[in-house]
């Protein structure tokens, strides 16, 4: 990461190049909600695919599911979210600004940082779940909530999956999907938002194996981040102190990333014990325990959870990849994205528009080889190189007049700036090496 990286630079790049936009921008936006443009959507898709592949490469089974976004009040009562999923908030009665009371943004002993008056309400708890009603009737039975985490749909389907999918404990269930939290103060771009995607994997095991699996998943997640190209010094593991643990958790370690605004949580790896299955058994009246024939015993599986936000991971990947340098006396911004995460892997450029007919077959060749390719014929070659550096494209392939004679193209490497003349028959091999 360059020493001058700031969140503002990342935000500006994301907007300029079509990664991320404020949602409903033409109507002045909606706070804490973002839309992902073509490059951002592609990069998120690549991250999700990499995560699921990583999960499913584990020696034990990890099955995928896709649960509903709406859940009845009963689910959230059992999970503890109705009673516990709240943040403390405080309002300035003078300027009406609202703050979280536990994140250091205000000190009730001091004046409001917004208007300078000292006129605070009491601190109140604010539940972060979005509430809605199903159907036309507005009564207690019609109440539903947008899920604040994907995990609960895994727990309430545990028995369905166990009995229908020929799996045995230990095994995992992974899910990628939207979650919603009415954050009091969404901020820091896509780091803390109100609508986001989570990638969660709940690993079910015998109680006596749970500490061992907790350690195994800590190790596996470390290798996941290294496989995404994270510099080893850019992330660290921080075990929670006892007073920080969530209501469901016996033990938890955060994977923290060094964002421009400091060390912050990227992923939570939690030992959830038998909390969730026990709660749902008690509240639903359905027995979610497992019978073990060999030992003639029933037990409630314990759970190790890996939970990371796609949007937050997306931001971490951009921060890890962001560099600035000087090339031929000109400032350059580049994203050193690995080939596997680059939304566009190869830009194919015709030196001048006259060469477009010779360039299109090169585009077709690379697309047929499964590469993510963009054709570009506008602007000077230098400007085009800068554009693709900025969106993290590892290679530019240029078709020039000599190509018509020697059937070779120039491949330019984003990071080394090296330019190599390569025969058309060799370019797929060179680009995928």
> Quick check: 151 binds ligand GAP (CB under 6 A)?
yes
> Quick check: 55 binds ligand GAP (CB under 6 A)?
no
Binders of ligand GAP in range 112-131 (CB under 6 A): none
Q: The tokens 């969530």 sit on which residue?
A: 246
Task: Single out the segment in contact with ligand GAP by CB under 6 A; choices: 53-61, 259-267, 296-304, 422-430.
Answer: 259-267
- Please select the residue that binds ligand GAP; options are 149, 256, 276, 376, rule is CB under 6 A: 149
Contact, 40 vs 337, CB < 8 A?
no
Site track for ligand GAP across 161-200, x = CB under 6 A = --------------------x-x--------xx--x-x-x
> Quick check: 268 binds ligand GAP (CB under 6 A)?
yes
> Quick check: 267 binds ligand GAP (CB under 6 A)?
yes
DSSP 69-80: SEEEHHHHHHHT
Give the nearest distance from C-beta 339 to ligand GAP in angstroms: 25
> Quick check: 410 binds ligand GAP (CB under 6 A)?
no
> Quick check: 387 binds ligand GAP (CB under 6 A)?
no
Binders of ligand GAP in range 195-254 (CB under 6 A): 196, 198, 200
Contact, 418 vs 412, CB < 8 A?
yes
> Quick check: 320 binds ligand GAP (CB under 6 A)?
no
Is 51 or 322 the residue whose CB approaches ligand GAP more closely?
A: 51
Q: Give the span between the Cα atoms of 22 and 408, in whole angstroms.
A: 43
> Quick check: 67 binds ligand GAP (CB under 6 A)?
no
Contact, 218 vs 270, CB < 8 A?
no
Identify the helix (H) or strand (E) that includes residue 386: helix 381-390
- Please select the residue that binds ligand GAP; options are 210, 307, 320, 359, rule is CB under 6 A: 307
Q: For the sheet containing 395-399, what is the strand order? A: 373-376, 346-350, 395-399, 408-413, 419-423
> Quick check: 308 binds ligand GAP (CB under 6 A)?
yes
| 70-74 contacts at long range (C-beta below 8 A, 24 or more positions apart) | 70/132, 70/134, 70/144, 70/145, 70/146, 70/147, 71/144, 71/145, 71/147, 71/152, 71/153, 72/143, 72/144, 72/145, 73/140, 73/143, 73/144, 73/145, 74/283, 74/284
The residues of the shown chain that bind ligand GAP, judged by CB under 6 A, are 149, 151, 181, 183, 192-193, 196, 198, 200, 265-268, 305, 307-309, 311-312
């Amino acid at each position: 990461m360059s020493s001058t990286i700031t969140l503002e630079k990342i935000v500006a790049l994301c907007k300029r190049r079509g990664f991320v936009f404020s949602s409903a921008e033409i109507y002045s936006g909606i706070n804490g909600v973002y839309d992902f443009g073509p490059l951002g959507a592609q990069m998120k898709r690549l991250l999700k695919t990499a995560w699921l592949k990583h999960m499913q490469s584990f020696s034990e089974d990890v099955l995928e599911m896709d649960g509903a976004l709406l859940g009845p009040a009963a689910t959230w009562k059992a999970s503890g979210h109705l009673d516990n999923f709240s943040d403390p908030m405080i309002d300035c009665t003078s300027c009406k600004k609202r703050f979280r009371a536990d994140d250091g943004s205000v000190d009730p002993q001091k004046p409001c940082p917004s208007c300078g008056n000292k006129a605070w309400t009491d601190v109140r708890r604010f539940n972060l779940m979005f509430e809605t009603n199903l159907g036309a009737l507005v009564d207690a039975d019609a109440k539903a909530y947008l899920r604040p985490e994907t995990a609960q749909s895994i727990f309430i389907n545990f028995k369905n999956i166990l009995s229908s999918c020929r799996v045995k404990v230990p095994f995992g269930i992974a899910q990628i999907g939207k979650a919603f939290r009415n954050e009091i103060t969404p901020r820091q771009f896509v780091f803390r938002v109100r609508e986001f995607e989570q990638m969660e994997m709940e690993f079910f095991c015998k109680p006596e194996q749970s500490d061992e699996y907790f350690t195994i998943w800590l190790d596996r997640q470390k290798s996941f981040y290294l496989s995404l190209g994270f510099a080893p010094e850019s992330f660290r593991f921080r075990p929670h102190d006892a007073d920080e643990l969530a209501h469901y958790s016996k033990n938890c370690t955060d994977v923290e990333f060094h964002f421009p605004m400091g060390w912050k949580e990227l992923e939570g790896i939690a030992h959830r014990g038998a909390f969730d299955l026990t709660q749902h058994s008690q509240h639903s009246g359905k027995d979610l325990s497992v019978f073990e024939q060999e030992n003639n015993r029933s037990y409630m599986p314990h759970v190790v959870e890996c939970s990371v936000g796609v949007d937050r991971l997306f931001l971490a990947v951009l921060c890890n990849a962001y560099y600035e340098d000087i090339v031929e006396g000109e400032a350059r911004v580049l994203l050193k994205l690995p080939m596997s995460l680059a939304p566009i892997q190869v830009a194919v450029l015709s030196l001048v528009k006259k060469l477009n007919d010779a360039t299109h077959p090169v585009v077709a060749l690379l697309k047929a080889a499964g590469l993510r390719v963009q054709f570009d014929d506008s602007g000077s070659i230098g400007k085009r190189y800068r554009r693709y550096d900025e969106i993290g494209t590892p290679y530019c392939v240029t078709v020039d007049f000599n190509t018509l004679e020697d059937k070779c193209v120039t491949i330019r490497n984003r990071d080394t700036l090296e330019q190599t003349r390569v025969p058309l028959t060799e370019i797929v091999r060179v680009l995928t090496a």
